[in-house]
Each structure stands twice: as structure tokens, then as C-alpha cells.
């Protein structure tokens, strides 16, 4: 039977390697296809394609995101649900009785670091 003290340096090295890997990956956050230079006003919410997202008292989901800056935003929960509205970047849209500014419509790209998540998104800002 080996002396456990002889294994200690190997275990310490493995622990340090695991820690270094974790720290280096921490900076690889999901940008969601979003331009890191682009900023949005406070209160803006990014709706990732096909993932229901709470926005105030509503739950919205973005789908059918096109390169032309158009998408469908569907109200899943809230007054008037379900209801889908075709939106365009730059317009104001009424969804379930709430006005939203459509700040960004991005179909995403295939070169993201998180291939397991949809890369397209719509950024909405509740008006008022």
C-alpha cells in the first residue's frame, strides 16, 4: 500500500489544473450573438429565440427571426394570451395590451460558443 503523502503532489496538481480550466472558461460567457459594443437602455429584455422569457407580468417568446430584422413575438402568459405579433426592428408593437419598443432583431450566427442554445434574439423595451 502506497503512502498517501506521495500522492499529495499529484492530487494538488490535478486540482490546480481543474481550477485553472474553470477560471479560463469563466470569461467565455454567452453573448447570445449580441454585439458586445451595443448597449441597451435600462429595462430592455433580450428574448432568446424559442425560449419563454418573463417581461413584467407577461411571458414572451421570440420566433421566426429573420435577417431582414423581422420576428414574431408571442405572448404566452398574461392578459390576451396566447397572441403572436409580427414585429420589426425599430418599431413599437402592442403585445397583450403592452407597448414595446423593438430595439434589436438579430438572427444570430452559427459560430457562438454555446451551440446548445439558439443564437437569435429580439430585444424589447416596455414603453411607459
The pTM (predicted TM-score) of the whole model is: 0.65
What pLDDT was estimated at residue 76? 93
What pLDDT was estimated at residue 23? 33
For the chain, the domains span 45-126
101 to 13, 15, 109: CA distances (angstroms):
52, 48, 23
Residues forming a β-bridge with 47: 122
Average pLDDT, consecutive stretches of 10 residues, N- to C-terminus, the chain (128 residues): 50 41 34 59 94 94 93 89 91 94 87 64 91
H or E element in which residue 18 lies? helix 4-26
Amino acid at each position: 500500500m502506497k503512502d498517501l503523502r506521495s500522492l499529495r503532489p499529484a492530487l494538488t496538481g490535478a486540482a490546480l489544473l481543474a481550477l485553472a480550466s474553470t477560471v479560463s472558461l469563466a470569461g467565455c460567457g454567452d453573448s447570445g450573438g449580441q454585439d458586445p459594443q451595443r448597449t441597451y437602455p435600462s429595462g430592455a429584455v433580450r428574448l432568446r429565440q424559442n425560449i419563454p422569457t418573463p417581461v413584467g407580468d407577461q411571458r414572451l417568446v421570440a420566433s421566426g427571426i429573420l435577417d431582414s430584422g423581422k420576428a414574431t413575438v408571442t405572448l404566452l402568459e398574461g392578459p390576451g394570451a396566447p397572441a403572436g405579433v409580427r414585429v420589426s426592428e425599430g418599431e413599437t408593437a402592442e403585445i397583450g395590451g403592452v407597448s414595446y419598443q423593438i430595439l434589436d432583431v438579430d438572427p444570430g450566427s452559427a459560430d457562438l460558443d454555446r451551440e446548445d442554445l439558439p443564437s437569435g434574439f429580439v430585444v424589447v423595451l416596455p414603453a411607459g
